[in-house]
Amino acid sequence: MIRHLTVAVCSRNRPDDLKRCLASVATAVKHSKEVDVDILIIDDGVSDPSGLASIKEIVHSCGCLCAYFNKSECPGLIYSRLAAIERAHGDAILFLDDDAEVEQNYLEQLAHCFQRYPSVVGVGGIDLFLPPKHPLWRVASRVFFWDSGRSGKLAWSGLNGSIWRWQGETAAFETEYLSGCNMCFRSSSIRHAEAVEWLRGYSNGEDVYLSCMARRSAPSARLLVDPQLRVRHHRSPLSRPDAAECIYRGLINTYHILRLSNVSRLRYCALVWSGLGLSLSGLLSSQKRQLGQAKAAWRAVKDILSHRAESPGCLVG
């Protein structure tokens, strides 16, 4: 079980979202007596001093210690995650996106989950605001390896399209990855995580990267998703890149995560096929903005093929 939990909220220029997130955490702390909690705010932007004062009031209202660290001189979500890992005092770290709200029983349920499954190194929950997928998308996702067909498994391409299946689960299940909007790791399982150059900026895929690091921390290391851990992820448009950039970086970063795992060549072929599928779906769409996304996917495919041809070896031995 966990006795001390650090709730780390990585934020960037979203003061209203951050207040809403911390208010939900404060309510959850008051509802739970299972674990001691401290809150760590990692600020990747520029915050108004008066806004910081009101944020700390929210935290102090629930009796928690609150630490604040500004790292705007070194921007990027992965660097915020690593700064939190370095400064966390808890034996587990719960990462929450600043635009997410946890339900009242979240922390209590989280503590119970670690108690029931003492061998797990990470636990995550589901996003109640994740929209359902159109039947045509479901078919395309299997054809182009965006979705593995199993809730807890990454697709053959390395993509995590199976996340939409999580809301249909009723019991905790083992998974290869957690969702970045709410993911909790035992501190010891991710202490060895390092900054990687390709996870820069918005850091698409950093949740899969940290999940990979946690699973490699011990031979028996496991991750779980508990459907009773529920959040509302509002997906704030502030401090977020456009969809085309997300598609490009998502494919490129997935390629690098595959390299870290030293997978077979067929997995790279599957990722290229996934990129071609994303490009094709954008071209077939009637929405003008989808054309930019199609171009971004095609650019990612070309860059993956070019990089693979130049250096076919694995980045990590």
Q: What is the pLDDT of residues 267-298, one digit of tens each?
A: 999 999 999 999 999 998 877 778 999 999 99
Q: What is the pLDDT of residue 300?
A: 96
Going from the N-terminus, what domains does the chain have, and what CATH number goes with each? 4-131+146-233 (3.90.550.10), 243-310 (no CATH)
What is the pLDDT at residue 63? 81
- pLDDT score for 190: 97
Average pLDDT per consecutive 10 residues, the chain (317 residues; last block may be shorter) = 93 91 94 90 77 78 86 84 95 97 96 95 98 94 98 97 96 98 97 90 93 95 97 93 93 95 93 97 83 95 85 37
* pLDDT at residue 310 in the model: 58
Query: 236 CB contacts (<8 Å, ≥6 apart)?
Result: 14, 17, 98, 99
